[in-house]
Structure 1
Amino acid sequence: MASKKRSFRHFIANQEKPKLHLVLDLDHTLIHTVYVSQLSEKEKYLIEQVDSSVDLWRVNEDEDPTNDYIIKLRPFVREFQQEANKLFTMYVYTMGNSSYAQTVLDLIDPDRVYFEDRVITYEKSPTKKTLAHLAVDKRTVVIVDDTREVWASGDKKNLLEIAKYFYFRDGANSKSYAEKKRDESRSKGSLAQVLKILKDAHSLFGKKFGSKDLRILIDHCRRKRQCCFLDLLKMLCIF
């Protein structure tokens, strides 16, 4: 009888908990895209590897070979999507056009398991990104994006900023991951760390001593994990 009561209370708690929302950027957050013509000499080996790779694609949208570009998936994206989908309704929000967004989604979510038709592109929002396009309570939304400046001022408090993902040199002065034939860590990289913060915040949302404002919880969990990381560095005598 007691177990039935606990199950009922758990069911009621889940029914009362509002659905939370996760808005994801594409470029430099989940992927890095570069025109084939812009590959450095030391990156051109990738052209031969595209067909045999599971996280690298060569794309052409207009049959003009000079417009071919390569898309590289950030490490841990597959796992991130799978885990985040259990906790959030997910959206893509990109300053790219709709054709580009659909091309990327065909690669990272071909069956539309994670994003369905929840995609906002340049055509809807040509100057600034804004949560006004989502008909939801802002207190239940978190944004993961590498660029703070593209967001409307009133939405910046929803942002969980992620380190930019640069796989290709793409005009940078330093050597790229591609040139070094390396990549960002899958288990310790930025996406894995962001997922931990999202899980922490989700677990606290709406609980007795928690908050019903996801923005506050995200900031709290981010600071807490940052402090733990700094403490670890001090223990290792890095500082």
Structure 2
Amino acid sequence: MKDGHQEFLQEVSKGSLFKLEHMHMMTKLRPFVCPFLKEASEMFEMYIYTMGDRPYALEMAKLLDPQGEYFNSKVISRDDGTQKHQKGLDVVLGQESAVLILDDTEHAWTKHKDNLILMERYHFFASSCRQFGFSCKSLAELKSDENETDGALAKILQVLKQVHCIYFDKDQEDLVDRDVR
């Protein structure tokens, strides 16, 4: 790596860049992820659900939640799913009407699109752009990163707060008839 690029990575990552030797990969946590998880966990019961295999899912859970306070072992991988190349709510505890999905891949949720909040995919590394067929420059190549105050997670957190407020509106009589969709 060029020295200037290395310095940029150290500056922009500030402890959020991880080299996972045993998985032969690097990953970077999205800006604002820690405050996002803290606030979201106060409103919702959260799961990690990935199309990655179980070892990848557990490794990401360790990075995102090292103390086990947000997900508490609620980690679902493609190995746990009941349909190949699809994610489904049949492996999540909770009524479908009370489950919100936050994902960057719409086609993984064909049976639960009404529960889905589609979010912008995070392309920090060039390999991510290539993997998903984008011909754009990655954030690392642009020597940039998302802004914590108005990036994707900050925007999604505002949406989650609104949904939570509406769902638990005190003027509604019965929780049974409520639906996040």
Larger radius of gyration: 1
- How far, CA to CA, are the matches of 2:115 and 2:75 in structure 1? 18
Listed one character per residue, the Cα deviations across residues 15-40 of structure 1 (whole Å, up to 9, x for unaligned) are xxxxxxxxxxxxxxxxxxxxxxxxx9
> Larger strand proportion, structure 1 or 2?
1
Q: Which 5+ residue runs of structure 1 have no aligned equivalent?
A: 1-39, 62-66, 216-239
Equivalenced residue count is 169
SS across alignment from 2:46: strand
- Would you say 1:80 and 2:36 are equivalent positions? yes
C-alpha contact (below 8 Å) 1:77/1:191 kept by paired residues: yes
- How far, CA to CA, are the matches of 1:103 and 1:110 in structure 2? 10
- Deviating above 3 A after TM superposition, structure 1's stretches of 4 or more consecutive aligned residues are 40-44, 46-50
- Would you say 1:182 and 2:144 are equivalent positions? yes
Alignment-mate amino acid for residue 68 of structure 2: R
C-alpha contact (below 8 Å) 2:9/2:140 kept by paired residues: no
Alignment of 1:195-234 (within 5 A): 195-207=157-169, 208=171, 212-215=178-181
CA RMSD of aligned residues (A): 2.6
- How far, CA to CA, are the matches of 1:96 and 1:174 in structure 2? 24
Which residue pairs with 1:224 in the alignment? Answer: none
How far did 1:42 drift?
Answer: 9.5
SS across alignment from 1:135: coil
Q: Which 5+ residue runs of structure 2 have no aligned equivalent?
A: none
Task: Rate the CA distance shift 1:69–1:46 in 2: closer, same or farther, 3 A.
Answer: farther
How far did 1:46 drift?
Answer: 7.0
Alignment-mate amino acid for residue 200 of structure 1: Q
TM-score, normalization by structure 1: 0.64
TM-score, normalization by structure 2: 0.84
Alignment-mate amino acid for residue 94 of structure 1: T
